[in-house]
Amino acid sequence: MSEELDVVDRRILDLIQEDATLSVAEIADKVGLSSSPCWRRIKRLEEIGVITKRVTILDRAALGLEFEVMASVKLALPNRENLEKFEAAVETWQEVVDCATVTGAVDYMIHVVTTDMHAYDGFLRDKLLGQGLVSDVQSRIVIRVTKRTTSIPLSLSQIKRR
């Protein structure tokens, strides 16, 4: 069973997605509520798992982390044990900012962020291929990011009860 988000919930989530530093009072003002009911709504959204974390997004260029690669990864033997080993290793690699199991000719797509091509080569040799689990990697260097957002399309959403 699912429960629909109302207009106010969606507006609160839109505001928080855009700027997690907004105070409850600022959010309340923007959605037409007083602070207490707004705070209760935010707490409910946290309790039911819709809001899972609030983070700060850093400027990669300012930190010298402008080299990005999208890599498709195929395991030599994609059995349960190797999938679990690979996923556990990925959790420890700070260069991997996103990893997804995918369908098709490869097993994973990973998004790697590092300083330059030499650092990526070290990551590739020492970590990705160093596990002995991977049979093929196809690396695609990001030339320019056309769109990057952390916001999800709330107009398409429903809350699934757990």
Model pLDDT for residues 66-88, shown as the tens digit of each residue: 999 999 999 999 999 999 999 99
Q: What per-residue confidence (pLDDT) applies to 3?
A: 63
DSSP tally for the chain: helices H, then strands E: 5, 6
CB atoms near residue 120 (< 10 Å): 21
Q: In the chain, which stretches have pLDDT less than 50?
A: 1-2, 162
Q: What per-residue confidence (pLDDT) applies to 113?
A: 98
Tokens 């037409």 identify what position? Answer: 32
Mean predicted lDDT score pLDDT of the chain: 93
Q: What per-residue confidence (pLDDT) applies to 1?
A: 30
Q: What per-residue confidence (pLDDT) applies to 156?
A: 81
